[in-house]
Structure 1
């Protein structure tokens, strides 16, 4: 049975009225209604001031000018600056006050301060081993310079003695994850953007419950957006009853606040300090094609065994401890020195796990992608579900193609968000004219976030090529250099390409005009997507 037939066989059934009623009358509706009420009150308050108080309005015009000057001089992505300057100038009262309202929110500042403190606490355990850097420098000065930047400004070193197993589908990763969870002896730490009840989560949860009952320390953290439609708001308390320490990151509350814009989009599992998983796969059935959404779900993941697992261990503990009042004993979770890795593992090459925070003004995820594009000599192959680009990323992609680098992007043919797809299509012609090749995965939806280059480099992680991943979310990935998994990722790219259709400039010309207009209009709001 091919992918297309499997998709037809498992087409989703109609949603039940019960689920619809739970959404309409549940917490989701309450939160959305409360936020809308607050937003409308703010809007009408500002409008009333504009219409009825002439002198105050003049003052607000002056305030808008000050705000624009402040935005222009702020150390920020130019696209973000433009996305705020337009509403501030068009709506002098509402735009300026709303910007100041969001800019002065205490939530993000508190998280930023706490995270910086924790990073300082964990820094001694993430020191770059000089002998590793020396060997890397001898093999590739360019990669060594990237590793230096990542350690100095991202806080994560590059490691040797690490094997990597690449999974072309969530379906492939899932049984391996279950087996590794069953082997846990000391602890299991898991951090995910999405968790939803179903076959995948139910089976994982059974293992976590058994392990917690046997004395294994289990911690589970998921993003607070899940509380809107996927999980009950009090679900962490339910897991606590099983002996599983659980928390939501940034629970969604019915209050207008900018901190709710920074979500935990990471996917991390760490087991006993020696094994770690990451990639695009969340804990829900569509990610392993047990439930069909948007056709066949093409996703990827990777398992690390070795020294580099320490990077993901510290990433998890840093995020977990943001809301903790007592310091963790970070060192006790390191892999025990007497642990014996299987002899058959190929631990050659280098691996560099890294995280990206939206609060530190250091766009680590984007810089890694751009470094691959700028340093490539032969090819850069990309899989991404979204293509919402700023001027820097457009320049890197087009310049790579213009200097003769084979630059190919695989996108979904069946999108999960129509507005994101329309926006992505607005970039197609510009990229194609520069020589970038774009393919769409015909059987369904690509959720993978993978870069491969020159048979030597690869990135697998949670970082999409859109503003939210590159600038607004907490993200993670692993950079591989001359590790055997690089060839595994490239082989998967070539196999995926067989199920794709190439997009041409003629396709762009014949694309429906209303959709073209919609995509260009959506560019005004691209930094928010």
Structure 2
């Protein structure tokens, strides 16, 4: 290709980006930040008394931050930003904290959770049974139900999918069997073979009288779907909502993404896990080598919790009255103890409970032999570092599988900064040689597992809407561990020598980015 042709193509590409929807939104946000900086600079030069007052308020804000309830890492990052950018950092912090949008959404979600409470009742016999089986797990069950309203279920079959292709195949089978309703909630949806195959079934089901509701995240699907895609779905008869659609102004709501992946069919089966509705998740498109992802399907009583999770989110911005009873799962009368116990749970940035992290802490703190982990990201707070290293130092085999080909270079650079401390404590870290690990899996002691959407990073653990399922004494746990061992065969173990061989600028870049890890 000639140099002039290359320049023309580059200019066209830049023009397309700048004047695209995402380009216009980005420029609008950058403009707002620039105005903030210019305003503070103007005060400093021409209105020194007002600027002095601003610095006084800044000191009060820092004192408030130090004494406030919350994760120390977030407080440290905010204080760093305030000190690095006098005036601007403080104004930005206040802007984020006083925005009404987040408070309104928080109130609506809390109201929805109260409304669904009658349909999330705990069977006392199940709690008694899990206490007899393993008292430590009964404590987790007690916490998840009493504090958050997520019951423990028996009579729930679990099917584990070791790859996106396997889940996709089962999804098509189950969707074709739908008779009453289909609920879909996904972070990323992209037009292609996977989504088009599903959409064909949804359109057919709508024509046959099946109720279909489809919800996707506005930022997750910003570059993968047209801006009016929800309207296109409505024209096909599919009820559709966009969660947290991106707007051209700074907003805290845009920071709280709907990262959940939920599919519920007739209240009979429910899917969750790491797999979005895009072709790379089923390896029809290669982006970062082989894409390793996982999911589970529940069938039975536990599906009801996922039904209520979906309806709560769906109705958070709805003025209509929901007939929840219409979507109830018929609970089994007897116990099938061979199926063990399942606790579906959701995590919200607004409930003041770090549910996903608490489940992971529980597994690390109560393991007797091992905890095996698959995660795409490793951006840890002090509590998680302490828990991982304490478990390893106590003789528990702690093994983490990470990607070898990352999807985000900056997240990978930050993850590497934790390797040395973890390895020195006895935590074993492996990287998946064929490509990218997107699975979010914890498995321990051949009897306990957690599978869902929650990564080991600040965003998943603190900022996003997430979901998962805690599984105990179910035979499928053995398949999850078997998949872990099979995946391990395709990995290489990260040695201390490999960690020490990193270039100085890569180390420096990772450590600098780590300062802002809570925002990544």
| CA distance in structure 1 between the partners assigned to 2:229 and 2:337 by the alignment | 40
Q: Which runs of 4 or more aligned residues in structure 1 lie more than 6 Å from their structure 2 counterparts after TM superposition?
A: 15-21
Which residue does the alignment assign to 1:474? Answer: 465
Post-superposition shift, 1:154?
2.2
Of residues 490, 515, 519 in structure 1, which corresponds to 2:510? 519
Equivalent pair of 1:157/1:352 in contact (CA under 8 Å) = yes
Q: Residues 347-386 of structure 1 correspond to what in structure 2 (within 5 A)?
A: 348-386=339-377
2:440 matches 1:446: no
DSSP 3-state at the match of 1:414 = coil
More displaced 10-residue stretch of structure 1: 457-466 or 150-159: 150-159
Equivalent pair of 2:190/2:221 in contact (CA under 8 Å) = no
| CA distance in structure 2 between the partners assigned to 1:17 and 1:202 by the alignment | 33
DSSP 3-state at the match of 2:482 = helix
DSSP 3-state at the match of 1:282 = coil
| CA distance in structure 1 between the partners assigned to 2:142 and 2:401 by the alignment | 30
Post-superposition shift, 1:101?
0.8
Equivalent pair of 1:378/1:454 in contact (CA under 8 Å) = yes
Post-superposition shift, 1:65?
1.1
2:75 matches 1:81: yes
Post-superposition shift, 1:25?
2.8
| CA distance in structure 1 between the partners assigned to 2:26 and 2:147 by the alignment | 37
Post-superposition shift, 1:327?
2.1
Which residue does the alignment assign to 1:31? Answer: 25
Post-superposition shift, 1:50?
2.2
Which residue does the alignment assign to 1:457? Answer: 448
Which residue does the alignment assign to 2:36? Answer: 42
Of residues 475, 488, 496 in structure 2, which corresponds to 1:497? 488
Which residue does the alignment assign to 1:97? Answer: 91
Post-superposition shift, 1:494?
0.1
Post-superposition shift, 1:347?
5.8
Post-superposition shift, 1:288?
0.2
DSSP 3-state at the match of 1:204 = helix
Which residue does the alignment assign to 2:399? Answer: 408
2:502 matches 1:508: no
DSSP 3-state at the match of 1:480 = strand
Post-superposition shift, 1:24?
4.1
DSSP 3-state at the match of 2:346 = strand
Of residues 195, 206, 209 in structure 2, which corresponds to 1:201? 195
Which residue does the alignment assign to 2:135? Answer: 141
Which residue does the alignment assign to 1:399? Answer: 390
Which residue does the alignment assign to 1:425? Answer: 416
| CA distance in structure 2 between the partners assigned to 1:434 and 1:292 by the alignment | 36
DSSP 3-state at the match of 1:87 = helix
Equivalent pair of 2:448/2:473 in contact (CA under 8 Å) = yes
| CA distance in structure 2 between the partners assigned to 1:202 and 1:195 by the alignment | 10
Cα 1:147/1:16, change in 2 over 3 Å: farther
Q: Report Cα offsets for 1:89-127 as digits up to 9, x if no partner.
A: 333311111110111011110000000000000011111
2:519 matches 1:528: yes
Of residues 329, 333, 346 in structure 2, which corresponds to 1:335? 329
| CA distance in structure 2 between the partners assigned to 1:166 and 1:99 by the alignment | 43
TM-score normalised to structure 1 length = 0.94
2:303 matches 1:309: yes
Which residue does the alignment assign to 2:5? Answer: none
Post-superposition shift, 1:412?
0.2
Which residue does the alignment assign to 1:320? Answer: 314
2:267 matches 1:276: no
Post-superposition shift, 1:51?
2.7
| CA distance in structure 1 between the partners assigned to 2:415 and 2:249 by the alignment | 31
Post-superposition shift, 1:346?
9.1
TM-score normalised to structure 2 length = 0.96
Post-superposition shift, 1:228?
2.7
Q: Report Cα offsets for 1:170-223 as digits up to 9, x if no partner.
A: 011111100100000000000000000000000000000000111000000000
Of residues 182, 204, 211 in structure 1, which corresponds to 2:205? 211
| Cα RMSD for the two superposed structures | 1.9
Equivalent pair of 1:350/1:482 in contact (CA under 8 Å) = yes
| CA distance in structure 2 between the partners assigned to 1:268 and 1:42 by the alignment | 39
| CA distance in structure 2 between the partners assigned to 1:498 and 1:119 by the alignment | 43
2:169 matches 1:178: no
Which residue does the alignment assign to 1:4? Answer: none
Unaligned runs of 5+ in 2: 1-8
Which residue does the alignment assign to 1:437? Answer: 428
Which residue does the alignment assign to 2:239? Answer: 245
Post-superposition shift, 1:331?
1.4
Cα 1:227/1:41, change in 2 over 3 Å: farther
Equivalent pair of 1:227/1:252 in contact (CA under 8 Å) = no
